[in-house]
Amino acid sequence: MRFSLNFIKEFLEVKVSAQKLASLLTMAGMEVERLEKLGGDWVFDIEVTSNRYDWLSILGIAQEAAACLNKKAKVKYPLLLKKPLLKERKIIIEDSKDCPLYIARVMRDITINRSPSWLGERVLNCGLNSINNIVDITNYSMLKWGNPLHAFDEDKIEGNIYIRRAQKEELFAGIDGKQRILQKENLVIADEKKVIALAGVMGGKNSEVDKNTKNVFIEAAIFSPLTIRRSARAAGLDTESSYRFQRRVSADCLEYACAEASKLIQDLGGGRLSGYKEAGRKPMPVRRKIAISLIQLNTFLGDNFSLGIVKSILSRLNFTVKNVSRDKIFVLVPCSRFDIKREVDIYEEFARIYGYEKIRPQIPFLVSQLRDTGYPQAGLYQFKNDLRNFLSFLGLREIITYSIEGGQDLTKLGERNAINILNPLREQENVLRSGLLLGMIKSIKYNLNRAKNNLRFFELANVYKVSEDGYQEKPCLSLAATGEGDNFFYLKGAMEEILRYLNTKAFQFKEASLTNFTHALEIIVNKKRVGFLGKLDEKIKKMFDLKENLFFAQLDVSFLMQSKEDKSYKPFSPYPVIFRDISIALRKDIKFKQIENIIRENTKGYLSGYYIVSTYQGKDLDENLTAFTLRISYQSKEKTLTSHEVDSLHGSIREKLNEAEGVILR
């Protein structure tokens, strides 16, 4: 948005330099991206955030500047003349949701000329072309009040005015000289025979004001922001008018903008008002009343402000402030401030005008706030960071993928209940992800296609699902591995290390049949399923053109945090570790968990650890057996174990294993 200093001075006496004003506005939140001197004027280029409709008018900017300068903007409102009434034609609004209010003024016997220098300068310095006195007047009024207007050649309109949706494949030729095929999404202004404007976006060539125009029909209206956004997108247009309508416009300023335009046409174009008509009903915004506490404001900002300075600054921002008690005040929000809804919004308004740089700095304090999911947000943030660090110690690299995916890709993975996005920018990004598998597949494929191998990735991100209560957002952890070696057991080991790191007890892995995976396991903690791991199915692998097998795991992070237990530390034993090996052939239908249980139950508290040191495959081994050598470590916390004691323990384990079904000692 561009505006000029001379334009601002219509509302406000500015005695500071343009550079100083630019600095004040930027520090208050209105970022001045560029400042340029044009002739005897200064032009400001600012970034307008989507929540500040009021900054799309010189009036709104002047009021903001006045607050920064500790002044009050002086607004001279035009006289709202509504007679004589327009009787020649009717205005018919087909759907009040699309257009709640439509105002028309007809000006006759005008003369088309070049604009006077001051008017042309105002328009040009705000980034618009100077066309002629009539068009420049409508643009000037739009810039000043923030409400777009449009001037039609009255003599080119045939019959009544209709505000309606376009008919299928109806044609429209805009003032830009291009012809467009309209769709149902387009809202149009039409007469009895043709479309004369794309409502809120662009006027039509067939009703354009030109050098031969004698009478003009001035349109001022309120249009639905959503309707204009969809219509402009469908037509591939982005104009000054649509930019404003998409952010809402004020019904009060609409009347002033239209009245000022008709007055200027009388003064600069020699015209006269021959008819006024309005259709629909003027929206009556309810001024929000917000009660704020001075104590809470001071606590929130970390300083000690007096009631007087709080009231003074809010009043400069056009809030109406009323005392209730020494601590509490009621604040009436201006109708133009659609973005002010809560107490914290008032706190922010005060702080930015007071000056963030003036507020005493202090160390921030994070307050744990419980949400519906049941975990503290501050605690979750730290929990994720700790988990990230631990995963990096395990040799995994973090990836970050998009939370928006393509519905077709999710359908390939069997996902039928993804949350659809109403207005996707691209068809390939039209749903929210319901899991982390698809993003991981794309990342793995990208790296494999660039000759990267032995990949070890993890991702900590939110997934989105439909639940009985509506929509659910849940943090999850995914791990993936490709390359040489037995990556299934690598992931299983990584899962165990994560659960041990969190000191989570009573976890187990259970064989499962899962969509998209073979050799799959469910991860059970406290009898609840918290995740899974498995090898990606060959069919899915080919479908996404992966060059290597992909092993994938996913965990529910919020449940992991809840099941995490405090750690306790024990001193190392100062006595030596003694190990013994056992060679075993295990039938493939027997779970290794049974071997673990036998070892733990027969070591009498002297077990230090165990692990597989080698595996064996050969012609002399039955294909239904798996052979391996297991190394068991023994250690006491009170003494040095003798060979006799270790041999006795080890012999007991061998005896129990020999008695177990499906186990053969070698």
Q: Which of 232, 224, 222 is nearest to 98 (CA)?
A: 224
Three-state DSSP string of 50-74:
CCCHHHHCHHHHHHHHHHHCCCCCC
The answer to the question of residue 81 being in a domain is: no
What's the rounded mean pLDDT across residues 287-293?
A: 91
Domain of residue 41 covers 2-68
Among 435, 429, 401, CA closest to 416: 435
Please check whether residue 626 lies inside any domain of the structure: yes
Q: How confident is the model at residue 49 (pLDDT cuts 50, 70, 90)?
A: confident
pLDDT band at 366 (very low <50, low <70, confident <90, very high): low
- Domain termination residue (choose one: 253, 280, 307): 280
Q: Find the range with the poorest average confidence among 40-44, 72-76, 411-415, 433-437.
A: 411-415
Same domain, 265 and 206: yes
Does residue 541 register a pLDDT over 70?
yes
- On whether both 503 and 601 belong to a single domain, the answer is no
Our CA angle for 479, 485, 490, nearest 5°, is 35
Under the banding of pLDDT at 50, 70 and 90, the label for residue 369 is very low
- Same domain, yes or no, for 64 and 95? no
Return the pLDDT at 372.
Answer: 42
What is the CATH classification number for the domain harbouring 383? 3.30.930.10
Instruction: Give domain status of residue 384, yes or no.
Output: yes
Average pLDDT over residues 359-382: 61
- Please report, for the domain that includes residue 96, its CATH number: 3.50.40.10
CB-neighbour burial class of residue 287 (10 A; exposed 0-12, middle 13-18, buried 19+): exposed
C-alpha 584/C-alpha 619 separation (Å) is: 16
Q: To the nearest whole percent, how much of the chain has pLDDT over 70?
A: 97
CATH of the domain at 312: 3.30.56.10
What is the model's pLDDT at position 373? 42
Is there a single domain that holds both residue 400 and residue 533?
yes
| Total residues found in the chain within this entry | 666
The residue to which tokens 């989507």 are assigned: 50
CB 614 within 8 A of CB 629: yes
Contact 142, 203 (CB under 8 A): no
The phi-psi region of residue 136 (left if phi > 0; otherwise alpha if psi is between -120 and 50; otherwise beta) is: alpha
Residues 147 and 275 in one domain: yes
Contact status, residue 449 vs residue 441, Cβ threshold 8 Å? no
Tell me the C-alpha distance between 203 and 196, whole Å: 6
Q: Which residues pair with 372 in a beta bridge?
A: none
Q: Within a domain: residue 383?
A: yes
Say what the pLDDT of residue 421 is: 87
Q: What is 374-402 written as a DSSP string?
A: SSBHHHHHHHHHHHHHHHHHTT-EE----
Q: How confident is the model at residue 592 (pLDDT cuts 50, 70, 90)?
A: confident
- Assess contact for 634 and 580: CB atoms under 8 A: yes
Residue 615 confidence (pLDDT)? 84
Same domain, 403 and 531: yes
pLDDT in tens, 4-44: 999 999 999 999 999 999 999 999 999 999 999 999 999 99
- Within 8 A by CB and 6+ apart from 425, the residues are none
The number of folded domains in the chain is: 5
- Domain assignment present for residue 76? The answer is no
The answer to whether residue 347 is domain-embedded is yes
The residue among 409, 402, 376 whose CA lies nearest residue 544 is 409
DSSP states along 460-471: EEEEEEEETTEE
Give the tokens for residue 470. Answer: 């509506």
Per-residue pLDDT band for 596 (boundaries 50, 70, 90) equals confident
Is the predicted pLDDT of residue 352 greater than 50, yes or no? yes
Task: Look at residues 537, 563, 589 and tell me which one is the last residue of a structural domain.
Answer: 563
Asked if the model's pLDDT at residue 428 lies above 90, the reply is no
pLDDT number for residue 376? 47
Q: What is the Rg, in whole angstroms, of the alpha carbon atoms belonging to the chain?
A: 37
pLDDT digits (tens, 9 = 90+) for 106-154: 999 999 999 999 999 999 999 999 999 999 999 999 999 999 999 999 9
For 257-272, how does the pLDDT look when each residue is reduced to its tens digit (9 = 90+)?
999 999 999 999 999 9
Q: What percentage of the chain carries pLDDT values higher than 90?
A: 67
DSSP state of 579: E
Q: Is the pLDDT reported for residue 283 higher than 80?
A: yes
pLDDT of residue 105: 97
Rounded to a whole number, what is the largest CA-CA distance in the chain? 120
Average pLDDT over every residue of 357-370: 67
pLDDT in tens, 462-482: 999 887 778 889 999 999 999
Q: Is 632 strand, coil or helix? A: strand
Q: At what angle do helices 294-301 and 307-316 cross, to 10 degrees?
A: 90
* Per-residue pLDDT tens over the stretch 199-232: 999 999 999 999 999 999 999 999 999 999 999 9
Please check whether residues 318 and 257 belong to one and the same domain: no
The pLDDT assigned to 375 comes to 43
Among the three residues 231, 254, 280, which one is the final residue of a domain in this structure? 280
With beta carbons less than 8 A apart as the criterion, state whether 446 and 401 touch. Answer: no
Average predicted confidence (pLDDT) for the chain: 90
CA atoms of 163 and 310, how far apart (whole Å) = 46
pLDDT greater than 70 at residue 370: no
Claim to verify: residue 212 and residue 269 sit in the same structural domain: yes
Q: How many helices (H) and strands (E) does the chain have?
A: 19, 31
- Is residue 502 in some structural domain? yes
What is the residue-wise DSSP string for 549-568?
--EEEEEEHHHHHHH-----
Q: Does 86 map to a domain? A: no
The answer on 259 and 214 residing in a single domain is yes
Same domain, 266 and 123: yes
Q: Are residues 98 and 21 in the same domain?
A: no
What is the model's pLDDT at position 416? 75
Residues contacting 615, CB < 8 A, separation 6+:
626, 627, 628, 629
Does 651 lie in the same domain as 550?
Answer: no
